Amino acid sequence: MKIAVLSRNSKLYSTKRIVEAGKLRGHEMIVVDHLKCDIVIEQKRPAIFYKGAYLTDIDAVIPRIGASVTFFGSAVVRQFEMMKVFSAVESQALMRSRDKLRSLQILSRAGLGMPKTVFTNYSKDVDEIIDFLGGAPVVIKLLEGTQGLGVVLAENKNAANSVLEAFNGLKARVIVQEFVKEAKGADIRAFVVDGRVVGAMKRQAKEGEFRSNLHRGGKANLIQLSRKEKAAAIKAARVLGLSIAGVDMLQSKRGPLIIEVNSSPGLEGIEGATEVDIAGEIIQYIERNVQTKKKKIQKDKVNA
């Protein structure tokens, strides 16, 4: 098969590992910078022009779309879908997962546990918000934040007031969540591929930090998920329509609480902590689905 990894940097660990895993299984692997793609819209002839030529004969794409370029990146993925190319992450699911508010609403509707959350339209009723969440401290998150950026722990009402006032002044939309004390600065990342948890790690924040992201200096260790945690991760990915997802959870007295579902989860931390060939799992998932798709096309031709 010819598989394209949609990535802006071929030297990134995740991109390199996926390319390596694909080549080991005998596939032709190419890296395509989605920001340099020209989308050609024509009646019944959708196409993508890249570096002086049309992209053709591609069997599947693996989107590695950064949050800052979600709009254009998802448009490129959607164009490949229109060209009947299989995408490891569907464009609609990508857009859905990047909208933090919408994704939380979907997860809530599905009955999944999550921290108490408030979204306000530049509200000044800070005391009321904090009381609803059970009191300070509270966590304030930018809707567009990633890798722990735009996440602030407000220790008391005055601090929360100051942070919200600053964000409101910048016209930045935020959500306010309860601070789950019993998590002790740690969270779980479960990596889901094709409806199955293929690896999980526990990330612990460094001393003096409440954000456990590895980019913020957190440390990762292998963890064995409980049955409830595994079921929650699989269900979270499914209800958001993601076949590949990094599901982040907090361990609490109420059970696992989903804090985020990532549609382009990094491989370095999870592969290092688990020693599992996650990139290989992704390639095998594509193989199964492309083969099924080809068989369906052949069957439709026979029945036509």
- Better pLDDT: 130 or 87: 87
- Better pLDDT: 159 or 93: 93
* pLDDT at residue 30, rounded to an integer: 98
Given a cut of 80, whether residue 246 has pLDDT beyond it is yes
Structure confidence by residue, pLDDT tens digits, 148-204? 567 888 888 888 888 888 888 887 888 899 999 888 888 999 999 999 999 999 988
Given a cut of 90, whether residue 263 has pLDDT beyond it is yes
Mean pLDDT of the chain, nearest integer: 89
Given a cut of 70, whether residue 213 has pLDDT beyond it is no
* pLDDT at residue 95, rounded to an integer: 95
Given a cut of 90, whether residue 90 has pLDDT beyond it is yes
Given a cut of 60, whether residue 52 has pLDDT beyond it is yes
* pLDDT at residue 32, rounded to an integer: 98
DSSP string for the chain: -EEEEE-S-TTSHHHHHHHHHHHHTT-EEEEE-GGGEEEE--TT--EEEETTEE--S--EEEE---GGGHHHHHHHHHHHHHTT-EESS-HHHHHHHH-HHHHHHHHHHTT-----EEE-SS---HHHHHHHTTSS-EEEEETT--TTTTEEEE-SHHHHHHHHHHHHHTT--EEEEE--GGGTTEEEEEEEETTEEEEEEEEEPPTT-----GGGT-EEEE----HHHHHHHHHHHHHTT-SEEEEEEEEETTEEEEEEEESS--SHHHHHHH---HHHHHHHHHHHHHHHHHHHHHHHHHH-
- Better pLDDT: 242 or 301: 242
Per-residue confidence band for 28, with pLDDT thresholds at 50, 70 and 90: very high
Average pLDDT over residues 140-144: 81
Per-residue confidence band for 207, with pLDDT thresholds at 50, 70 and 90: low
Given a cut of 80, whether residue 216 has pLDDT beyond it is no
Per-residue confidence band for 253, with pLDDT thresholds at 50, 70 and 90: very high
Average pLDDT over residues 88-105: 94
Per-residue confidence band for 299, with pLDDT thresholds at 50, 70 and 90: low
Average pLDDT over residues 254-264: 95
Given a cut of 60, whether residue 243 has pLDDT beyond it is yes
* pLDDT at residue 294, rounded to an integer: 63
Going along the chain from its start, the domains and CATH numbers come out as 2-89 (3.40.50.20), 117-179 (3.30.1490.20), 182-263 (3.30.470.20)
* pLDDT at residue 210, rounded to an integer: 56
- Better pLDDT: 128 or 208: 128
